[in-house]
Chain A
Amino acid sequence: MDLIILTQSLFNTDRMATFLISLIAIAIVLYTTYFRKNKKPFTIRKINGLQAVEDAIGRATEMARPLLYTPGWGGDIQRPTTIASMNILSFVAEKTAQYDCDLVFPTHDPIIMSVAQEVVKESYSRAGYPDRYKEDNISYVSSSQFGYAAAVDGIISRTKPASIFLLGTFEAESLILAETGTSINAIQIAGTDSTIQLSFFIVACDYTLIGEELFAASGYLSGNKSILASVQAQDIMKIMIAVFIVTAVIWATVESLSGTPLSYWWKF
């Protein structure tokens, strides 16, 4: 009896479906990452905006102006979107090191600042120009949402970056930054997982990475096999989702036409 109570409390059966689906998802990621390694290399489709990344860095170099990169106020380092943004930052930093272009990275979170310093420093070393790395360019500006917005706005208005990367989790500050960027004629590449802010980026920026595209972008830019493998895993899961949806809709329709109450087996 005690054992049963212990087992019950050890595993929350309400979350059984999520547990099983998590295991399936994990298995798919492991499969694409480790077992397909020797198969034909996986490539991903063209993503609008990503071809513009190098152009944006080149533009900043030609105009002898800095490039501004900020991950938004809405996320912290625990958020997968921030990790995806750090991946893109790594690529961008390597290029700015090669082109000797100033990279400015203001953030609201001191932990993101610490990680970004690590990422950029390593990218500069990898590019062969460790001496071009300027730690002060990666700075903490304020944890307050509009303090951060005002600070980044100030940097944009005064340093007039030629290119601006707004990649991460944004909230209401998104349009303040994007419009200030537009006012100085900067090329702007944005991407976020905040669904509401996406609409502002679409309207105000030159290129916008929509949700999942932000995660795929780092694989596309770096050509990193493990990231590409996870994009492939995401696509496999999407096919499974499509099959599930079509099956469930057909099932629901048949139940509806036959007059039986819907069983809702697809709700878990």
Chain B
Amino acid sequence: MNRQIPLIVCFSFGLIMFLQYFSNHTIARTMNLAILDYWQIIFAFTLVLGVVSYIKANMTKISRGIDRPYLIVGLLGMISMPIMALIWGIKADSPFMWMFENVQAPMASTVFALLAFFVASASFRGFRARSMQASILLGAALIILLSRSNLPIPYTEHLSEFADWIRNYPSMTARRAILIGIGLGSLTTSMRVILGIERTWLGGEK
């Protein structure tokens, strides 16, 4: 019974969402929007579980003396945000938004910027033409890079045209094949879920 009710719920909501896609009736549109709202509301409640898991994991480590000062800083950062929001609100010039703009955002942007170095190190290792496949990958990447660089290369216009052709035909056709495969894989996985054949999310067969 513990598993049958979720399976029935899963099937019913799956069927509703599948059918509403093919209708432009007001009821179908309303149901679609309502269920999309449910997703957000369920996420909001589940966030409590996530935050508790974060606090619990950090408290366990702190009590064992692992990375204590750093984890305390993290916990303080987490607790300070709701406190600031509670006291001063979340308007544009509030301390809450100040923390977001001057602490979270610059650090997040820098983590993103680290990618430039990771791209360089990955290229260094990955671009050793060890096989035919690796050589093709390297060649295609180089053509794109050279065609988009400002280096004084002869026949730049032709290179640029060739790079566009590669992107629009051989590269695009492979991308399409990947997407077709993903579409088919998603379709069959979704069907298994709705029909209740796929039960891993419930912990597995029973």
Contact = CB atoms under 8 A, between A and B. Distances in A.
B189 A230 contact: yes
A160 interface: no
A175 interface: yes
User: Which of B26, B192, B195, B202 is most buried by chain A, counting CB atoms within 10 A of its CB?
Assistant: B192
B57 to A, nearest CB: 5
Interface in A51-77: 77
Interface residues on B, range: 35 or more
Contacts of B122: 175, 178-179, 182, 200, 203-204
Interface in B145-183: 175, 178-182
A224 B81 CA distance: 46
A232 B112 CA distance: 40
Contacts of B54: 139-141
Contacts of B114: 176
B137 interface: yes
Given A203-B125, A227-B192, A25 B187 contact: yes
A21 B189 CA distance: 16
Interface residues of A, number: 75
Contacts of B190: 80, 83
Interface string A208-242: 00111011100000000011001101100110010
Contact of B175 (A195, A212, A233, A234): A195
B182 A212 contact: yes
A131 interface: no
A139 B189 contact: no
B184 A203 contact: no
Interface in B12-63: 18, 21-26, 28, 39, 42-43, 46-51, 53-54, 56-57, 60
Binding site secondary structure of chain A: helix
A211 B46 contact: no
29 contacts: A10-B23, A10-B28, A12-B22, A12-B24, A33-B195, A33-B197, A80-B185, A80-B190, A86-B200, A90-B200, A110-B47, A110-B51, A118-B201, A119-B201, A119-B203, A121-B203, A126-B204, A145-B108, A146-B107, A149-B111, A202-B126, A203-B123, A203-B137, A211-B179, A212-B181, A214-B185, A234-B184, A234-B185, A238-B180
Interface of B: 18, 21-26, 28, 39, 42-43, 46-51, 53-54, 56-57, 60, 67, 104, 107-109, 111-112, 114-115, 118-119, 121-123, 125-127, 137, 175, 178-182, 184-193, 195, 197-198, 200-204
Interface of A: 9-12, 15, 18-19, 22, 25-26, 29, 33, 77-81, 83-84, 86-87, 90, 109-111, 113-115, 118-119, 121-123, 126, 136, 139-141, 143-147, 149-150, 158, 172, 175-176, 178-179, 182, 193, 195, 198-200, 202-204, 210-212, 214-216, 226-227, 230-231, 233-234, 237-238, 241
